[in-house]
Chains A and B, each alone.
Chain A
Amino acid sequence: MKLIFEKSQPGRRGIGVPKPDLPVPEVPSELARKEAPRLPELAEPEVLRHFTELSTRNFGIDTGFYPLGSCTMKYNPRINERLVGLPGFAGLHPLVEDDAAQGALELEWRLQEILLEVTGLDAVSLQPAAGSQGELTGLMLFHAYFRDKGEDEQRRKIVIPDTAHGTNPASVTMSGYELTPVKTDARGNIDVEDLRGKVDEHTAGLMLTNPSTLGLFDENIEEIRDIFRSVDALMYYDGANLNAVCGISRPGDMGFDVVHINLHKTFSQPHGGGGPGGGPIAVRDILEPFLPVPVIVNDSGTFRLDYDRPKTIGKVRAFTGPFGVFVRSYAFMRSYGPGLREMSEVAVLNANYMLARLKNDYDLLYDRLCMHEFVLSARNLKKEHGVNALDVAKRLMDYGFHPPTVYFPLVVPEALMIEPTESEAKETLDAFCDAMLAIAREAADEPELVHDAPHSRPVKRLDEVRAAKEQIVRFRFEEHPAEQRAGDRELELQKGA
C-alpha cells in the first residue's frame, strides 16, 4: 500500500483555514521558514480513504480475540467514546480556574475514591501518563520518603524478581537506584531464601507484580512482606495484573505502599495501537506528603487543585493527567459498580478454562491454577518438530486470532503468554483452544505450514533484522523523484503567493 506521501499531488488540500481580512505580520527573515515542509497534499475524501485503508490492515479488540498476555485486551465500551467527546469535557482548557472545572475535578475525585477502594490505600495521584511513568513516580516517592528520614544515601537498592516486566528494572535505573535481582522458585513464586540474603538496611524497597507475569499469585506474599517490613523498606506493586484481583484481594492489604493502576488495561481505556494509557498511583498515608502537584482537594463538594505541598516531588507530567482517559475509565468502573469483582472472577475463570484445555499439548512449567493469564511453553514443539513459539504465534493469525505475548517472561523458554480477559464468550475461548491444538498437530504433520505462517495477512513475515540494519525510519523523498518535484512546486507556489 502506498504511503500518504506517495499519493500526494501538488495543489490539492483537505481542509480550509479561515482567512480574516487582516494584514499578516512579517516574520523576521532570519526566523522565517525557507522551505515548505513536504506534507502530503490530498483532498479530504482521499485522506479519509487512506486512513480507512490503513485500518483494514490492522487488528483490534473490535476485530477479534486478542489474548496478548499482560496487556489485558478487554472490550472497550463505545459509550465511553461518546462520553469523552462531550463538549463539557473535550472543550475544557486545563488551565481554567477551578470554578470552571468543577465537573472535571469531581470526576477525577470520584475516580480516585474508586481506586482507593480497589487498592486498599490512602491517597491517589492521577498524574502519571502510563504504568511505566507510575513506576518512576513511585520510586521518586521512595527517594523523597527516605530523604525525609535521612536515609536516602543509605538505601540504594531495589529488589526485583526475574519475572518482572522490563519497565521495572528500567524505572530503577531512571530513578537513580540500583537493581537487586531475585530468583523464581520451583512453584513460580519469589525464591524466599534468595530474597532473604539480599534484603538489608541498604534496601529501599521491592517492586513486585502480583499475580506475577507467570499469571501466578505469590503464595509467600506474607513472608515477603515481613522481610521488607523487618528492615523498614517499602513495597511497590506493579498493577499491570490488577485485572485478576479487583474486589478479591487488595494490594494495600497485601502490604504494598505504592500501586500503579494501568487504566488502559484493567479499566478499559482503548490502547489506540500504542497509547494513550493512564498510570495513576495509589499510596499509603506515609507517602502522601510527597505526591506530585497538584492534588485534588474536596472541600465539602467544592473541588480545587492544591499546589501548596512543601514536600512534593514536583510534577511528572503537565496538568492533572490524561483527563480523557479518566473519563473512559471512570465510566467503565461505574458501569460495573461492585460487579468489578465479577469482572475479575470471570477473567480468572476464562484463563483457567483455557489452561485446562491446552496444558496437555503444550508444556507448562508451573502446574498450578492460574490467575487472569497463564504461560505455556512451545519447547516441546521446538524439540520434536522444529516449530517455535513465534511460529505458533504467526500461525494463529491464519485462524483469525491475534497471537499471545511470546518470549516473555524470560524464565520460560519459548513462552506463550495468554490472557483472555473477562470479555470473551466461551465459544471464542473454545475456538482459540481448538486452533492451538490444531497448530500443535500441524507442527507434527505439516511443520512448513506453521513455519511459513502467516498465509492470510496483508504481508508475510517481516524482516526485522533488515529494518534494524537499514534504519529507514522516515519516507525518503529524495529517492522518490515525483514527490520531490511536488515539493519543489509547492515552494514556487508559496513564493508566488
Chain B
Amino acid sequence: MSYLSLTAADRDAMLATIGVASVDELFRDIPPAMRYGRALDVAPALTEAELQRHLEELAGKNVVDEICFLGAGIYDHYVPAVVDAVLQRGELLTAYTPYQPEMSQGVLQAIFEYQTAVCELTGMDVSNASGYDGTTVAADACFVAKHATGKSKIVVTEATNPQVRQVVKTYAPGFGLEVVEVPHEGGTTDPARLRDAAQGAAAVIFQQPNFFGILENAPELAAAANDAEAMPIAHVDLVSLGVLEAPGKYGCAMAIGEGQSAGNAMSYGGPHYGFLAARSDLIRRLPGRIVGETVDAAGDRGYVLTLQTREQHIRREKATSNITTNQTLLALAGLVHLSLLGPRGLRELGDTCMALAAYAKERLGAAGLEPVFSDKATFKEFAIHTGRPARDALGDARAKGVYAGYPLGRDYAGLDDALLVAVTEKRTVEEIDRLVEALS
C-alpha cells in the first residue's frame, strides 16, 4: 500500500517493543463475537492511474457542457485561479481546527480577515468562522433568536429558498420552535402581513434578493419585524452586496447566507460555506468558532479561537451549538475571491450580473416568454412563463445545449409553467441569445 510506510522489519520491532506476538493480539479487547471474521467485501485496491481513470469515467457521465442558466441558490460564478493556488497550499489544506494557535497563525489570521470581510459586506459587528451552508446557518440563527428573546415562534417568508425553509423546519422540533410561513404576493412579501405574522415571534427570516431573484423592500420587512419585536434576519447573497444595501444598515439583527457565490465551484452542492453575522450584543450566543485578536508573551499581535466557553467542547450540553468542524477552507476561498475583487470589482460583478440578467429578461419577454412577476426589480435571477410545463421547456432547451433554469413548480403551486433563470457574469450576450432561441 503506497500510503503506508512500515516495513516487515519495522512491524516486528514494534511488536517486540509492545510485547505482543502479532497484530491480531492488539485487538484482544474486542469480544470474539464482534470481530469481523472475513475480508471486507469491497472492490480491489486501485493504483493511482487506475483511480484517475475510474473517476474520470464517473465524471464523464455528468453533463456539464450545457450553457448554465441554473441558479436557485447555487450559481455559476467564475472562480479565480489564485483561489485554487491558495487552497492547495498544504499548510492550509491539511491543517486541523486551530486549537494550538502558535501552530496555526496562518489559518487564524485568515479567519479573522474573513470575519472582517463578512462584517463589512453585511454591515454587522461580528461574524463566526462559517457554518455548513446557507441552509444550516438559518437554523443556527433561529436557535440564537430563540435564546435571545425567549420566544419560540419563527416566521419565514415563502419567498425564501425552499431548502432553507425545509432545513429550518427539520431542526425546529428539537429546538422547541414553531415555524410559520408568510406567503408572497406577486413575488414579494407584504410588510404589513409580515408584521402581523411576526407578533410574538423570536425572529423573521427573509431573503434579499428573494428566491425569485426579486428585490424585496428589505428595509420595510426589517422594520415590520422590529415593530413586532421579532429579530429581522436577512438571508443574502455575498456577491449582491456591492450594489445592495448591507442588512446591518436597515436594522437587521443577523445576516446569513450561502457563500458559494464567492470563491466556490458548484461541485454538485458542496462543500460550500454558510456565513452568519450578527449585532455585537449577540456575540455570546453565536454558534461555532470565532477568532479574536490578542497579543503573545512578547506583546506582539496574534490571533486565537475566542469565547470558547460558548462551545461544545467546554460547555457540553449547555453549548450554543454542537458544531465543531465548519467550512474554513471554503470560507478562505471566499476571502481570497473577495480580496481579488476589492470594492470596485464586487460592485462591477453585481452590475454585470444585473446588466446581463436584464438583457436576458428583455429578450425573453420580446420572444413571448413573459416575466412571472413583471413589475418587480430583480438582481441576477428572474422567473419567466414558458407557456407549457416548465420541465418540457427545459428538456427542449437542453436538447439545444442550454440548461435554461429551475422549474419553480417543484416548490410553488400554480407555477408549473415557470422557469427561474439565473445569469452570472460568466454568461455572454451570445449565450443569452442562444437561451432565447432554445426556449422560443
Contact = CB atoms under 8 A, between A and B. Distances in A.
Contacts of A139: 174
Interface string A382-402: 000000000001100100001
Q: Which of B35, B39, B133, B293 has the most chain A CB atoms inside 10 A of its CB? A: B293
B328 A58 contact: no
B52 A48 contact: no
Nearest to A245: B30
A14 B341 contact: yes
B241 A176 contact: no
A286 interface: no
B396 interface: no
A349 B58 contact: no
A24 to B, nearest CB: 5
Interface string A99-142: 11111101100000110011010000000011111011001100
Interface string A128-172: 011111011001100100000000000000000000011101111
Given A40-B339, A79-B51, A143-B173, A403 B103 contact: yes
Given A39-B343, A60-B94, A338-B45, A462 B241 contact: no
A365 interface: no
A278 B26 CA distance: 29
B46 A337 contact: yes
A73 interface: yes
Interface residues of B, number: 203
Interface in A1-38: 1, 3-5, 8, 12-20, 22-25, 27-28, 30-34, 36-38
B323 A130 contact: yes
Interface in A317-345: 317-325, 327, 331, 333-343, 345
A103 B100 contact: no
Contact of B103 (A338, A402, A470): A402
B295 A463 contact: yes
A129 B28 contact: no
A275 B4 contact: no
A427 B336 CA distance: 38
Given A100-B62, A248-B30, A93 B243 contact: no
Interface string B1-16: 1111110001101110
A101 to B, nearest CB: 6
A44 B97 contact: no
Contacts of B97: 71, 271, 273-275
Q: Which of B17, B18, B103, B308 has the most chain A CB atoms inside 10 A of its CB? A: B103
Interface in B337-358: 338-349, 351-352, 354-356, 358
Interface stretch (B109-117, B199-207, B225-233, B367-375): B109-117
Contact of A87 (B59, B171, B377): B59
A86 B266 CA distance: 12
B299 to A, nearest CB: 9
A62 interface: yes
A321 B133 CA distance: 10
B21 interface: no
A81 interface: yes
Contacts of B93: 60, 62, 76, 81, 270, 272-273
A377 interface: no
A47 B336 contact: yes
A394 B101 CA distance: 10
Given A132-B323, A349-B6, A461-B297, A94 B86 contact: no
Contacts of A170: 312, 315-317, 319, 321-322
A109 to B, nearest CB: 11
Contacts of B13: 426
